[in-house]
Amino acid sequence: MREQSDIKRMRLVVFRIDAQRYGLPLPAVDRTLRAVRITPLPHAPAIVRGVINVEGRVIPVVNVRARFGAAERDPRLSDAFILARTPHRTVALTADAVEGLWEGEMRQVQSVASIYPDLPYLEGVARLEDGLILIHDLALLLSLPEEKALDVAITQAASPR
């Protein structure tokens, strides 16, 4: 019998868009918070809804519904933001709800290519008894052109008129 310490484990922050559950690796998540008013950011990529101020930091808000092709809807008071770190910046991801923390064994996670080969923003799928958790790859959240356009929009918004 294998010792418990030999089993590789994964911890995900699980959130929902419509009925689908998504997960982000816990080490990449700073925190979750209730949705707040978003300030528009002119010239930002279409995937960016605007920015929010979190303790003096300007954080871009990424529309996860649009990124994953879910139907658009107006923001609701019950929505949440997940502050997470991509390789380039901290972003606020929009979510219908944050369900909590999932901890499981790596053997429960499959490569996304083996199940959904045409989903470019995912790195894996956790198979659970009650359904799937699609594991989001934060390194692929924004394309290089979107990253550059976001940098320009933030710089332009910060410069005095």
What are the tens digits of pLDDT across the range 81-113?
999 999 999 999 999 999 999 998 777 777 766
Domain CATH number, residue 141: 2.40.50.180
Q: Which domain holds residue 123?
A: 10-154
Residue 2, in any domain of the structure: no
Number of domains within the chain:
1
b/e map 108-126, b = 16+ CB within 10 Å = ebeebeeeeeeeebbbbbb
Residue 5, in any domain of the structure: no
Residue 29, in any domain of the structure: yes
Residue 3, in any domain of the structure: no
The model's confidence at residue 1, banded by pLDDT at 50, 70 and 90, is: very low
The C-alpha atoms of residue 152 and residue 46 are separated, in whole angstroms, by 14
